[in-house]
Structure 1
C-alpha cells in the first residue's frame, strides 16, 4: 500500500489497560501504522514488554492505574493528547479500553478521531450476558446460557446444561488480577459451579453458565473487520484456528485466512443490524453435529491476530480505521486466502514450517528486529516465574494459570433447576428433571 495514501499528519494512539506484557496484537498495530509513516504512541504498561523495543513506537505513555474508572481513563488520554498537540486516531486494544472510550466518547472527541458507533454499544457487545440477549433478539446462534442468582441455582444450572459447562464472568475486564479467577473456565462438577458462584462479588460481575460446545479440528473460527462510516466491513475476513494456547480453549497460536461465506454473512448482518462502527473481532464455534456457527464473543477492538488479514493491497483493520477517519480512500480488497499467522512463543515449531501462501510471525520481523530479540529472554523469565509459583502451591502463586482450569466431574446431579434467568432464548427451565440436558447445537 503506498504510504502516500495516509494522512501522516494525524498520529495514532494505541490504548491498552490490561497488564499483559506479551500482547502481540499491540505490536502488530504499532508496526502496521508505523510502516505506513504514521506516528504511533502507545498508552500501555511497558514493563517487561517486547513492544517497547519496536522502532515504530514514537513514545510509550504510562497507562491509567488498574481499576481506574472510565472518567479517569479519559483524563489520562486527554493528558496524552495535550502532549501530542494535534488530533489523533485512537484505537483501544482491549475490552476495558474499548468500553471506557465508548462511555467517554463525547469528552474524547475534541482530541481524538473516533468511529461513530452508538455510545453504549461497545459495552453491550463486550458484556457476555448482553451479548446472549442480542443474539437471541437477532436470531444469531449462541450457546444456551443461564444466569443463576444463588449458589444452589449455579449447581442446578451446571447439571442442566452439562456437564461439562462453560463458566464466564459477564464483564471479564472487571476480573481482578492475582486472585486466581479466570474470565472463562470449563467446569465438570455442579459443586465447582456452586463454589465459583460464591466468588461473584470478588469477580465484579454476574456469573454465566453456558452449554459446552466441544472443540475439534476446524471448529473454531474468527472474523476480523472494520465497519466504516457507511457500515461496509473492510480490512479483514474469516479465519480458522489451527492451533490454540491452551489447546482447544485459548488464544490463536496458529491461524489461517480461510474464506467462509456463512461466517462472513453472520458478521456483516451483526454489524448492520446493530449499527456498529469501528474495529471488531468475533469468535465462533461450529457445532460438529449441526454445522451451525455459534457466536461466542464480540470484541469491540482488534483481535490479537488481526495481522493475519493484511491483504494484497496492504490493508488491515487498523489501517482501515486510520484511512476512514482521516477521510482517505480505502483500497479495494485483495484477499490472500491460506495466509497464516503464527505466535512463536506458543507455536515455535509452526513458525519454522514453510507456507506456500505466506506467513506472518507475531514477534519477529526483518524490518523491526528489536521485539523478536527481546522476546525470548523475557518469555523465559516469565515462564520460569510461573513454574516457580506452581511449585510453591496455589496459595503463594503470584498469578493465575495461563489456561482454563478444568475440574473433575461430580458423581451425582443436584435437584432440578428453578428460577434461573435465561438469556439465550431457552424455554422456561423451571421444574425440568435433573437428567434432562439442554442442547445448544
Structure 2
C-alpha cells in the first residue's frame, strides 16, 4: 500500500460511493466503507474496497455514529480522509465538523458552511450578492408573496425546498410544479405541514439539455485548480430530476462565472455548480451547488480528472498542480437503470423521439455502475433489482 492514510467513505448503497471507492482504490488507497446497514450496499462488493464497517444510523443514533467514527480514527496510524457521499452524510459531518477535524482530514474548514451552501434560499442570496444570476425567487414569509409570484415569477413556477435531501425522502420528488395560485397555496401548505422550508421560483425556460454543470476543485489556499463542464441530456424524473445521461462539453463561460464565485465565498474542496441556460436570453442561471462528490464522478474521472484522488492527495500533503478539460471529449455518463425510465417518459411526453434516444447510445460512455475491471457491484445491483421486482410481484 503506497498511501499511509486510509479513506473512509460514508455510504456504499449508491453509485456515488462506488465511484469514490474506485477512484481511490485503483490508486492504491486503503478504502473503508461505513454504512448503517449491509442491505443494498452493492458498492461494498467492489474489488477496490478493503473494509466495510456497520455503524449506528447517522440520523437515528447520531451521537453513537459520531462516537464510532472517532473510535475508528483513533485506532489508525494516520488520520483518515473522510468522504461523505450523500447530502445527509454531508449534513451529519458538517454538524460535527469541529470535532471530526480532530480525527479526520477534510476539505472544509468552517463548521456549518457546507449546510449553508446546500440551503437553496441562502445560496441564492449569496450568489446574487456576488453578481451570479439566479432565477427570480420569493419566500412565503415575504410581504405580498402571492402578488410577487404572480407578477414577477409567473406561472407555471416551482416550489422547491431549502433542504433537498429531506424533501425528496418525504415527497419522492425534488420540487412541486404549480400552474396557478391554488396549486401554489396547496404546495406550500403541504410542505409546511411536513416541516419543510420552501421558496417559489421562476422556471428558467429551456429543455433539459440546457442544464449544465461546472465541476471544480478548490485547494486549501482557496483557488480553483481543476475544472471541467458537462451538459445534461436526460434526467429522471424528466424536467426536474437527477442526471441519467450527461455529456462532457467544454463551456468556458461557466468557469468565468463559477471559479470567481467559489473563491469569493471561501469554498474548499470539490463542488459542482448546476446552471441552466435561459433559452430566451442565453444567460446562465445558478440553480444549486452540490457540496460533495456527485453522480457524474465516474464521467469526470474518465475525462481526465480524478476529484476524490485530488482531495486525498492534497489533504495528505501531496502536490496536485492544476488541470482543466478544455476540449469536448464526447464521453457520456449513463445511469442505465433510470435512463431507461427517463427515455420512456420523454418519448411518452413527446419531448424526444425513439430515434433520438437510440442514436444517443452510440457514443463512448462512462457507466454509473458497470465496470469490466470491477464487475461484482454491477451483478449485485442487478440482483438487488430482481429481488425488488419479485417482492412487488408477490407482495
Moved more, 32-41 or 88-97: 88-97
Structure 1 counterpart of 2:250? 259
Q: Does 1:9 align with 2:15?
A: no
Distance 1:329 1:308 in 2: 23
**CA displacement, residues 282-314 of structure 1 (integer Å, 9 cap, x when unaligned):** 1111100111111111111111112212266x5
Superposition map of 1:85-234 within 5 A: 86-149=78-141, 158-160=149-151, 161-175=153-167, 177=169, 179-180=170-171, 182-216=173-207, 218-234=209-225
Give 1:377's match in structure 2, choosing from 378, 383, 392: 383
Residue 227 and residue 70 in structure 1: after superposition, are their counterparts in 2 closer, same or farther (change >3 A)?
Answer: farther
Q: Secondary structure at the match of 2:185?
A: helix
**3-state SS of paired residue (1:345):** helix
Relative to the length of structure 2, the TM-score reads: 0.85
Q: What is the correspondence of 1:295-310 to structure 2 with a 5 Å cutoff?
A: 295-310=286-301
Structure-1-length-normalised TM-score: 0.76
1:323-375 CA-partner distances (Å, limit 9, x unpaired): 110111225526363222211212357799343xx432111111111011122
Q: How many Å separate the matches in 2 of 1:230 and 1:283? A: 24
Matches of 1:86 and 1:165 in 2, distance apart?
50
> How far off its partner does 1:84 sit?
4.6
Structure 1 stretches of 5 or more lacking a match?
A: 1-5, 390-441
CA distance in structure 2 between the partners assigned to 1:63 and 1:149 by the alignment: 40
SS of residue paired to 1:129: helix
Moved more, 336-345 or 221-230: 336-345
Relative to structure 1, the CA distance from residue 157 to residue 385 in structure 2 (aligned partners, 3 Å threshold; closer, same or farther) is farther
Deviation at 1:116, TM superposition (A): 4.4
Task: Compute the displacement of 1:248 (Å).
Answer: 2.2
For residues 155 and 382 of structure 1, the distance between their equivalents in structure 2, rounded to whole angstroms, comes to 43
The total of aligned residue pairs comes to 375
Q: Distance in 1 between matches of 2:53 and 2:192?
A: 32
Identify if the C-alpha distance between structure 1 residues 62 and 260 changes in structure 2 by more than 3 Å, giving closer, same or farther: same
Q: Tell whether the 8 Å contact from 2:56 to 2:62 is kept in structure 1 after alignment.
A: no
Identify the structure with bigger relative contact order (alpha carbons < 8 Å, sequence gap 6+): 1
Aligned residue for 1:283, secondary structure, equals strand
The residue that corresponds to 1:273 in the other structure is 264
Q: Does the aligned pair in 1 maintain the 2:168–2:174 contact within 8 Å?
A: no
**TM-align CA RMSD:** 3.0
Separation in 1, partners of 2:288, 2:244: 18
**CA-CA distance at 1:184 after TM superposition:** 1.9
1:293 corresponding residue in structure 2: 284
Q: Give the superposition deviation at 1:180.
A: 3.2
Note closer, same or farther for the CA distance 1:383–1:189 as it changes in structure 2 (3 Å cut).
farther
Alignment-derived partner of residue 369 in structure 2: 363
CA displacement 1:358-395 (0-9 Å, x = unmatched) = 43211111111101112223224446767999xxxxxx
Q: Give the deviation of 1:13 after TM superposition.
A: 0.9
Q: Where does the alignment leave 5 or more consecutive residues of structure 2 unmatched?
A: 341-356
Change (3 A) 1:209 1:381: farther
